Chains A and B, each alone.
Chain A
Amino acid sequence: MGKTFSEKALGRKAGKEVQAGEVVTVSPDYILSHDNASAIIQEFKKLGIKNVRAPEKIVIVLDHIVPASEEKYAQNHKIIREFVAEQKIPNFYDINQGICHQVFTENGFALPGKLIVGSDSHTPSYGAFGAFAAGIGRTEAASVWATDEIWLRVPETIRIEIEGKLPRGVYAKDVILKIIGDGGADMADYKAVEFAGKAGKKFSLGSRFVLANMSAEMGAKNGYFEPDEVTLEWLKGRAKDEYEVIKSDPDAQYRSILKYDISDLVPQLACPHTVDNVKPVTEVEGKKFNQGVIGTCTNGRVEDLAVAARILKGRKVHPGVRVLVLPASWEVYREALKKGILAVIAESGCVILNPGCGPCLGAHEGIMAPGEVALSTSNRNFKGRMGSRDSEIYLASPATVAASSLEGKITDPRKYL
């Protein structure tokens, strides 16, 4: 019987053949954390040992509240910087780099076949490059820093085959929202999700990232795309280490196989207050909103900003809305700057913020007041997430947010493309 990617990747780490359902104790290749490294440090210090086991495996990126907006956050960053120096952690990225998932990827840690754990729920993003990547909590991260080990249950896999061709004005974000809307926020709890199909394989790496990133919103442990020549080409000159491409066997056993033909898909929206409350944009058109957000780890790459700029070019955002744009990293920022994308966005009246998590988690840079509505390219619309518990969040593609920002109300982007 054939094996899935997840069975093979974890089996290789465990040094034996494994099957879904088994629990293995394995040593990860990389452990990611961000601003919550300070909480990990606090837990680590309770363990009564002096040094982390494998400093070269630890990757820390400051991104959640950067630059520090209050003294308590500044203190938090300071604790992390001091620990990094003391423990000689080589892979530390300060506030001038961007969102951890983008920075981790750009710096060549997200590699095929690698086992990556991160103290952030969107760690499954690295599956876009064929890694096995799962989120963990802080105490667990402290334990992994100390022991270089973690127990993981080998997940069953849901295979999602995406066929057809994306219609004009429809993007990877619309595809993943549609899938989550159909299957629910727990459709993949504890499971791996493998994205396949002819259309899925043709997605750009940025679009694959969107799907793998949002596999977390269906409860998945990890998402996965089979690496191809596009992946390997992109990794040239970036890869931090040697790697081995691991693929599912043709006769692998899947928990279920879902098929999607995206040829007739229309732009989608996740409505308040859950990511699986999904409707076609056409059903919600005309809904007024106060704040647009284009960016985040889900949709802050050059291809996202380029689509937004295409729509915004030569136009002004509606006076009734404020639109915040955050490139996912400074590498993205510089490329968008060179290509003239940021100039178009600035001309249109958007506020361009520094790369980072920004308003997505409701701690700074664009907090929502009671009664206000946000339309965002981010991945979560939970009640109160971006500020007041009496505010609302709609999630959409960069094209939908850009088009809607011109009109001050939720708008089908296809008429601008």
Chain B
Amino acid sequence: MNKGRIWKYGDDVNTDVIFPGKYTYTLMPPAEMAKHALEDLDPQFAQKVKPGDVIVAGKNFGCGSSREQAAACLKYAGVQAVVARSFARIYFRNAINLGLPVLQCPEAVDKVETGDEMEIDFAEGKIITNKGTFKFPPLPESVIGILEAGGLIEYTKKKLAQK
């Protein structure tokens, strides 16, 4: 488990500010996607993010468009997980499908700030920070299989092979 630095943002962080629409309808390599992560919310982020960092946000993270790059760009930027008060549903599915953990933990969101450090113990369902340790509810069973396979493509590949 890696210790990661926290980047904290507010409520209703939408997919347009995570990954602008003008880049959405072309095929872009992962490294380039990562360069545009959070471009219209925090232009510093893409330059300063380090592998293992964690995004912490308020309610309804990822609301708006179904664009999957909004989850992919964070994963490719090295983000370990997004911890939020709540997630928009398509974003939640997209993140799981790409193998980016999305955790609902309002208690942690309330306590931590940008620059704090976080460790995530998935097996125990615990978030460990310098502001305390917080429990998060286990992910639904239907999504654990997908995360364990490393995302939906790998999961579906296995399923197709079994048939």
Contact = CB atoms under 8 A, between A and B. Distances in A.
Given A146-B156, A189-B60, A140 B94 contact: yes
Given A137-B93, A219-B63, A47 B88 contact: no
A151 interface: yes
A68 to B, nearest CB: 10
Contacts of A73: 25-26
A296 B71 CA distance: 25
Contact of B24 (A36, A186, A383): A36
Interface stretch (B13-21, B47-55, B111-119, B123-131): B13-21
Interface string A344-358: 000000000000000
A26 to B, nearest CB: 13
B40 A137 contact: no
Contact of B160 (A146, A361, A362): A146
A49 B160 contact: yes
Nearest to B161: A48
Contacts of B157: 46-48
Contact of B60 (A23, A219, A221): A219
Contacts, number: 137
Interface range on chain B (Cβ under 8 Å from partner): 35 or more
A48 B160 contact: yes
Contacts of B160: 47-49, 146-147
A298 interface: no
A348 to B, nearest CB: 29
Interface residues of A, number: 50
B151 interface: yes
B25 A136 contact: no
Contacts of B65: 121, 361, 380
Interface in A198-218: none
B14 A382 contact: yes
B93 A363 contact: no
Nearest to A138: B68
Given A363-B21, A383-B40, 9 more contacts: A36-B67, A47-B153, A136-B66, A147-B159, A189-B88, A189-B89, A219-B89, A382-B17, A389-B17
25 contacts: A36-B67, A39-B68, A46-B153, A47-B157, A73-B25, A120-B66, A123-B66, A135-B66, A137-B93, A137-B94, A139-B98, A142-B156, A143-B97, A147-B156, A185-B63, A186-B63, A189-B86, A219-B60, A361-B65, A363-B24, A382-B14, A382-B17, A383-B16, A385-B16, A389-B17
Q: Which 8 A-B pairs have the closest CB atoms?
A: A186-B60, A137-B94, A384-B40, A361-B21, A382-B16, A137-B68, A121-B66, A389-B40
